[in-house]
Amino acid sequence: MGEVIVITSGKGGVGKTTTTANIGTALAALGYKVVLVDTDIGLRNLDVVLGLENRIVYDIVDVTHGHCRMKQALIKDKRFEGLHLLPAAQTKDKTAVTPDQMKELCRDLKKEFDYVIIDCPAGIEQGFKNAIAGAEKAVVVTTPEVSAVRDADRIIGLLEAAELHDPKLIVNRIRPLMVKKGDMMSIEDIIDILAIDLLGVVPEDEMIVVTTNKGEPAVLDNNSRAGQAYRNMARRITGEDVPLMDLQDDTGFINRLKKLIGFK
Amino acid sequence: MLDFLLRVFGRETSSSKNVAKERLRLVLVHDRADMSPQLLQELKEDLIKVISNYMEIDENALEVNLDTSDNSVALVANIPIIRMKRSSNRAEKIG
């Protein structure tokens, strides 16, 4: 029996979809059977981040309404045998699926897969309620900004109210140099405020833009620091004890030299 | 001027991170004080129970609200008293 994990944040644009794609891909690379579920009906994006947008025939609404069988809607990843995507519908809205239907869907999926990872839409309305309905564990993504941390706090409260206890935190897009200068909240500051356990920290990384452009998750690129952070998080999800990576910016001469030799 | 000097020598007293933390702290005090009406009703009923031991109050005119001002949240109750009791019910029970 697999595990259902929802990736949520409250605020939009903090990296839920990127996180879902990367942790899912990293888990598949470790040999697990993984399905990524896009619940952002009307604004689907997980397909393009994964580079699978051309293969969609059926979507989550088709499955929950019985228009097709689950197997027909699942898209197999081109890189990893174990990785699958259940895409969101693009032409419907959030009310096309109910929390009860989501519970049933998750129940079915976790029979087949080791990890069911749900990409939650931004906001706290119906889409959020659907996304968390069938989940057993929750991950909250935030960035070191007042608005994102505030929304994360609200989401943590709502998860608690929905009996999804003990969510884990991902702090995304941290810039160690700015933290050092005192111009960005540190991991400690954010944990102090939100009072939940850390799953991982992702340093700001331009490679994310590049890999997303290509539709290839950053975890596939060994030079991407964000990719490394996501690989570590995937291992933590499987129960392995992985220390936080060194967050020093690679702007030093030696590091730039390494980067130059490493690729390009 | 002093502030500027401290900035130049890298010992800023009010780095923008601290500003962010303080603003977050205040905004979360307000956000988290958002009590559900149901919980507030339960609090009201409990308050009536306790206060009724000591005085007779006008339950219909009783008002209990969370008052959020700039940097604090207060529980504000307006409880009209009809009559004071000479001894509390509790004391009677014990006696």
Tens of pLDDT, residue by residue over A236-251, are: 999 999 999 988 755 5
Structural domain total, chain A: 1
For chain A, the residue count is: 264
- pLDDT at residue B67 in the model: 79
- A156 pLDDT above the threshold of 80: yes
Residue A238, helix vs strand vs coil: coil
Ranking A74-88, A152-166, A186-200, B9-23 by mean pLDDT, the lowest is B9-23
Interacting residues of A93 by C-beta distance below 8 A, sequence separation 6+: A41, A42
> Which of B6, B11, B21 to probe by mutation at the A interface, max A CB count within 10 Å?
B21
What sign has the CA pseudo-torsion A173, A179, A185, A189? positive
For residue B24, give how far its alpha carbon lies from the nearest alpha carbon of chain A (Å). 6
Q: Which of A146, A153, A181 sits opposite B20 (nearest CB)?
A: A146
Interacting residues of A170 by C-beta distance below 8 A, sequence separation 6+: A15, A19, A139, A140, A141, A142, A198, A199, A200, A201, A202, A233
What separation in angstroms does the CA of A253 have from each of A103, A178, A225, A258? 52, 19, 17, 9
Query: So what's the ipTM on this one?
Result: 0.80
Q: Within an 8 Å CB–CB cutoff, is residue A157 touching chain B?
A: yes
Q: Mark yes or no for CB contact B32/A153 under 8 Å.
A: yes
Residue A198, helix vs strand vs coil: strand
Angle at B15 between CA B13 and CA B17, to 5 degrees: 140
Query: What is the DSSP track for A110-167?
Result: HHH-SEEEEEPPSSSSHHHHHHHHT-SEEEEEE-SSHHHHHHHHHHHHHHHHTT--S-
Closest chain B residue to A185, measured at CA? B17
Closest chain A residue to B25, measured at CA? A193
Domain carrying residue A88: 3-262
- A60 pLDDT above the threshold of 70: yes
- Say which CATH number the domain at A191 has: 3.40.50.300
pLDDT above 70: percentage of residues in chain A: 94
- Residues of A within 8 A of B15 (CB-CB) are 181-183
Q: Which of B16, B17, B28 sits opposite A193 (nearest CB)?
A: B28
The whole-number average pLDDT for the span A54-61 is 96
d(CA B32, CA A27): 35
For chain B, the residue count is: 95
Tens of pLDDT, residue by residue over B40-79, are: 888 889 999 999 999 999 988 888 888 777 667 788 889 9
Q: Within an 8 Å CB–CB cutoff, is residue A228 touching chain B?
A: no
Dmax (CA) for chain B in angstroms is 73
- Average pLDDT of chain B, as a whole number: 79
In the stretch 166-205 of chain A, residues with CB closer than 8 A to chain B read 179, 181-186, 189, 193
d(CA A199, CA A140): 9
Interacting residues of A26 by C-beta distance below 8 A, sequence separation 6+: A217, A219, A230, A231, A233, A234, A235
Q: Which of A149, A179, A182 sits opposite B24 (nearest CB)?
A: A149
Q: Mark yes or no for CB contact B15/A182 under 8 Å.
A: yes
- B94 pLDDT above the threshold of 60: no
Q: Confirm if A19 and A230 have CB atoms less than 8 A apart.
A: yes
- pLDDT at residue B74 in the model: 82
Interacting residues of A219 by C-beta distance below 8 A, sequence separation 6+: A22, A25, A26, A29, A227, A230, A231, A234
- B95 pLDDT above the threshold of 50: no
> Which of B17, B18, B19 to probe by mutation at the A interface, max A CB count within 10 Å?
B17
Strand partners, A69: none
Question: What is the band of B11 on the pLDDT scale with cuts at 50, 70, 90?
Answer: low
- pLDDT at residue A264 in the model: 41
Q: Mark yes or no for CB contact A146/B17 under 8 Å.
A: no
- A95 pLDDT above the threshold of 80: yes
Q: Which helix H or strand E contains B81, and what residues bound it?
A: strand B81-84
Q: Which of A145, A150, A181 sits opposite B28 (nearest CB)?
A: A150
